[in-house]
Structure 1
Amino acid sequence: MAETAQDQNYEILTPPDDLRRKVRELTPREAKKFDPIKAAEAALNRLSGHFGSWMINETVTLLRAWETAQTEGMTEETVAPLFQAAHNIKGQALTLGFPLVGRVAASFCHLIETVPSPEKLPLQLTERYVEAIRAMVMEGAKDDDNRTGVELLETLDIVTTDFLKQFSPDTGGNE
């Protein structure tokens, strides 16, 4: 029998601060003129000066995770932070103005997600991804205008696809 709300133990949490006190209400006249899209774009423009350093910080996290994986070996415990760092870069890259780096990180995440176990991750290819992301962020290779970055992404994609074929059920290589 399904429990009803009365049958369940629960606790109501009240926030310590009433956020309404922290926000100024717009007058009807101000509200008519207020454009939330423009306000968000203006806020984004104010923050955009920090985007490069935020991507550098994400890259440092990726590099540290890679160093740990190299030192301690490719295990669930060492690959998880490596994947998380790449996944964070993938998710933030477009917003932070590095869409090309995001595509490299997405390809790297695909590699990690597709191999059957961390021990099967190829060290050289993993290192190439980490170094590609690092170099592209440091060199400001942000989009498809950077021919070298695009070629690097395409090469990594080809090598990754070829490597992952051995694990595809279609090829019978379920090692």
Structure 2
Amino acid sequence: MLTENSQELNIQAFADHHIITPPNRLRNAVRLVDEKNFDDPIARAEKALAGLSDEFSKWMEIERDRLVMAHAAILNNGFTPAARDELFRAAHDIKGDAATFGYPFAAAGAESLCRIIEHAPALDRVPAELIAYHINAIQAIVREHTTPGAEITAMEINRKLRLVADEYLAAVNQDRPEHLEAILAPSIAPTE
């Protein structure tokens, strides 16, 4: 069916097919900008992010303190649903924010802690030391991230945390194969 706008279509006929090229109406929507007034939105966003970067260490410290307070609430009151949720959210926020804030190695420890919270059949049976190791490691990584050699130390700490967490989760989930697949999946948090 041809319409009144069909004159704008470019139709090339071949023996076994046709190529129909519609008009490019986007040319009317694009505004050409003089190179002197060129606006690069990515450069603008990077500049805005750089302006905020002075705040990143404060924000990371707030996230770290929130994790520590959530852990303290569990030590004082046990794994109530609210305490469990707050510990998970605090660790999950660190996992998501750490790289943006300039603390990429804190993300791996936080991810490992999230995995324990998600996959342990009974959080009140998780060895208290295992959770404390994660909390202490995240605190140390945040505190020492500018120390020379901190990246190597953080990578080794995160590797060991993940190994211990995986061993624990694999042992306690032997009868839960749907969790074993997730437990044995590789990390999505940056480790290098």
With normalisation by structure 2, the TM-score equals: 0.69
Question: Does the CA-based 8 Å contact 1:55-1:93 persist in structure 2?
Answer: yes
> How far is 1:120 from its partner?
2.5
Once the 2 structures are TM-superposed, how far is the Cα of residue 171 of structure 1 from its aligned partner?
8.3
Calculate the aligned-residue CA RMSD, in Å: 2.6
* TM-score normalised to structure 1 length: 0.75
The secondary structure found in structure 2 opposite 1:74 is coil
Pick from 63, 66, 73: which aligns with 2:78? 73
* Equivalent position of 1:124 in the other structure: 129
Distance 2:170 2:51 in 1: 45
Query: Structure 1 90/141 Cα, relative in aligned 2: closer, same or farther at 3 Å?
Result: farther
One-letter amino acid matched to 1:132? A
C-alpha distance in structure 2 between counterparts of 1:30 and 1:72, whole Å: 63
1:30 Cα deviation after fit: 8.5
Tell me how far apart the structure 1 counterparts of residues 67 and 150 of structure 2 sit (CA, whole Å): 25
Higher strand residue share: 2
1:94 is matched by which residue type in structure 2?
A
| SS of equivalent to 2:101 | coil
Give 1 or 2 for the bigger CA radius of gyration: 2
Matched, 1:104 2:109: yes
Question: How far does the alpha carbon of each residue in 1:15-56 deviate from its partner, in whole angstroms, 9 at most, with x for none?
Answer: xxxxxxxxxxxxx65995000000000011111111111100
Q: Does residue 58 of structure 2 align to residue 53 of structure 1? A: yes
CA contact (8 A) 2:74 2:80 kept: yes
Residues 13-162 of structure 1: pairs in structure 2 closer than 5 A: 29=34, 33-140=38-145, 146-162=151-167
Q: For residues 111 and 74 of structure 2, what CA distance do their matches in structure 1 show?
A: 19
Number of equivalenced pairs: 146
Q: Secondary structure at the match of 1:95?
A: helix
Q: What is the CA–CA distance in structure 2 between the aligned matches of 1:163 and 1:66, rounded to whole Å?
A: 19
CA, structure 1 residues 171+72, in 2 after alignment: closer, same or farther (shift >3 Å)? closer
Shift of 1:117: 2.5
Shift of the alpha carbon at 1:152?
A: 0.7
Partner SS, residue 86 of structure 2: helix
For structure 2, list consecutive stretches of 5 or more residues without a partner in the other structure: 1-32, 180-192
